[in-house]
Structure 1
Amino acid sequence: MNQPRMDPADALAELGRVRLDETNLDDMLRRIAELAGRSLPRAREVSVTLVRGRAGWTAAFTSDLARQLDEWQYQEQRGPCLDASASGASISVPDMVAEQRWPAWAARARDAGVGSSLSIGLPIQESVVGALNVYGGSANDFDPPAIAVAERFAAYAAVALANAHLYDSAATLADQMQEAMRGRAVIEQAKGIIMGERRCSSEEAFALLSKISQDSNRKVRDVAEALVAKAARKTRA
């Protein structure tokens, strides 16, 4: 990370100013990683882990090194970021040389130039949890005051992520409902055309649309759109 440092309080204020209607969940994740990397004391690299079920992935990171440090843990299905995600606790690795809980991962981190780490659980919503991971270049980079600053940032980040996730889900649902309504409208138009041409009932018209859909291996909506478009061309001719 080569971006200028900033005061942790300014980072929290900037995080609070992010408008949910002008961003999406992925952008929020990247913003959290960036602000954490610029403001948390002794942070060399930062990443955000998300976990759904047993699957973990790095949703945002400040460098490929941060992503690799996480992915080594996913491969082994064990490590501080996964434990922090599951427990919601803060897990510190003060010294990669002396680390005994995850010795293989610590050795790889040490070889990559990382001396210590801090993972803080992020409860986001029922099916998705995560962790804010901070990696230091030297041993004992994260003393109690630094951990306190990181935990405060993580608390704000968890709220921001939960809100962004809810907003993103609500926006997706609204789009799906609008799409469904448009699909229903065109199907009703197609049924009206069939009823007018064949002098049949609404149920019979829909049954015909369904049969054409099955025979042609197309969605009912696609069949309806084609029928409505054909009728419109006839009208213009």
Structure 2
Amino acid sequence: MNLEMREPVAETLGVLETAALLRELTAGLIGVTDFDEALAALVRIARDAVAGVRWCGFTSLRAGEPAGVAASDDRFAGLDDLRHGPDSPAMEAIRRREMVVAEQLDREARWPEWTPRARELGVRGVISAPVDIDEQVIGALNLYAGAGDVLTPGHQLTAMLVAEHAGLLLAAVRDRARSAAEAGQVDAALLDGVVGQAVGVIMTQRGCRPEEALEVLRSAATSLAIPLREVAERLVSTVARPRDS
């Protein structure tokens, strides 16, 4: 990798710009639970915030197998998709676990299958930075320039910082997704038997959705300091009790 310190130019990102980018990434991903949605936000924010970068993509592997891509422009999705072949800067970055840079694709001899496709789409420079997410998923953040020799050492530093920050944020997204899935499984289990009957009663009485009815039961259990199932049994018993004529 060529890290010679060239004369600073307008495209070179400063500390304040990079800090603002990291804040924007955090704000954009902090509450997301869907991994694909998080990737879409990541590539969009990176494309819009990094000067000199025209397009951005993300390549991911899950358990060693291609696990999808995200692209700021759909026309470029194929450049990030490992199902089109492992001959790419992204795969090299993932395999070597270090940043890969091609400042001028017109003079690039690596990736003989990938590079012509990139050139046809107007790509003239690329930075691919590895992203460590968790024990199952790894990836690469790919920054594309539409002109040669505009990707400076400042861009390389920014790519490294964004990749590290994105890894932490994406790991949190996957944790939230797992927690949401587990909560959904718990709720589904709760809806069996008497709790499910009680939920049905509340839905009928209030005209609400199942999750809202379950929350009513939970609030009652908390207020009364008794188990959820006991609250459900009391409600079902009350409704089932014959009225005096």
Query: Does TM, scored on the shorter chain, surpass 0.5?
Result: yes
5+ long unaligned stretches in structure 1: 1-5, 190-234
The equivalent position to 1:11 in structure 2, one of 21, 31, 38, is 21
The equivalent position to 1:28 in structure 2, one of 25, 38, 47, is 38
What is the CA-CA distance between 1:141 and the residue it aligns to? Answer: 2.5
- Higher mean displacement: 75-84 or 110-119: 75-84
Equivalent residue, structure 1, for 2:234: none
One-letter amino acid of the counterpart of residue 100, structure 1: A
Equivalent residue, structure 2, for 1:76: 85
Q: Deviations over 1:173-203 (max 9, x none)?
A: 12112213324x36999xxxxxxxxxxxxxx
Cα 1:172–1:40 change in 2 (3 A) is same
- The DSSP-based 3-state class of the residue aligned with 2:52 is coil
- Percent identity over the alignment is 27
The equivalent position to 2:164 in structure 1, one of 142, 155, 161, is 155
Q: Deviations over 1:130-188 (max 9, x none)?
A: 111111112222121111112112211111111111111111112112213324x3699
Cα 1:97–1:11 change in 2 (3 A) is same
Q: Deviations over 1:185-223 (max 9, x none)?
A: 36999xxxxxxxxxxxxxxxxxxxxxxxxxxxxxxxxxx
The equivalent position to 2:146 in structure 1, one of 124, 137, 146, is 137
One-letter amino acid of the counterpart of residue 110, structure 1: R
Cα 1:19–1:139 change in 2 (3 A) is closer
Equivalent residue, structure 2, for 1:202: none
Equivalent residue, structure 1, for 2:115: 106
Give the TM-score taking structure 1 as reference length.
0.69
Cα 1:22–1:82 change in 2 (3 A) is closer
Equivalent residue, structure 1, for 2:77: 67
The equivalent position to 1:40 in structure 2, one of 50, 53, 59, is 50
What is the CA-CA distance between 1:66 and the residue it aligns to? Answer: 2.4
Equivalent residue, structure 1, for 2:225: none
Equivalent residue, structure 2, for 1:51: 61
- The DSSP-based 3-state class of the residue aligned with 2:122 is coil
Cα 1:57–1:45 change in 2 (3 A) is farther
- The DSSP-based 3-state class of the residue aligned with 1:97 is helix
Q: Deviations over 1:213-235 (max 9, x none)?
A: xxxxxxxxxxxxxxxxxxxxxx9
Q: Say what the alpha-carbon RMSD is for the aligned residues.
A: 2.8
- The DSSP-based 3-state class of the residue aligned with 1:13 is helix
Q: Distance in 2 between matches of 1:19 and 1:97?
A: 35
Q: Please tell me whether the aligned partners of residues 86 and 129 of structure 1 are also in contact (alpha carbons under 8 angstroms).
A: no
Cα 1:127–1:63 change in 2 (3 A) is same
Give the TM-score taking structure 2 as reference length.
0.67
Q: How do residues 177-196 of structure 1 correspond to structure 2 at under 5 angstroms?
A: 177-183=186-192, 185=193
Q: Please tell me whether the aligned partners of residues 56 and 82 of structure 1 are also in contact (alpha carbons under 8 angstroms).
A: no
5+ long unaligned stretches in structure 2: 1-15, 198-241
What is the CA-CA distance between 1:121 and the residue it aligns to? Answer: 0.6
Equivalent residue, structure 1, for 2:179: 170
Q: Matched residue pairs, number?
A: 186
Q: How do residues 177-216 of structure 1 correspond to structure 2 at under 5 angstroms?
A: 177-183=186-192, 185=193
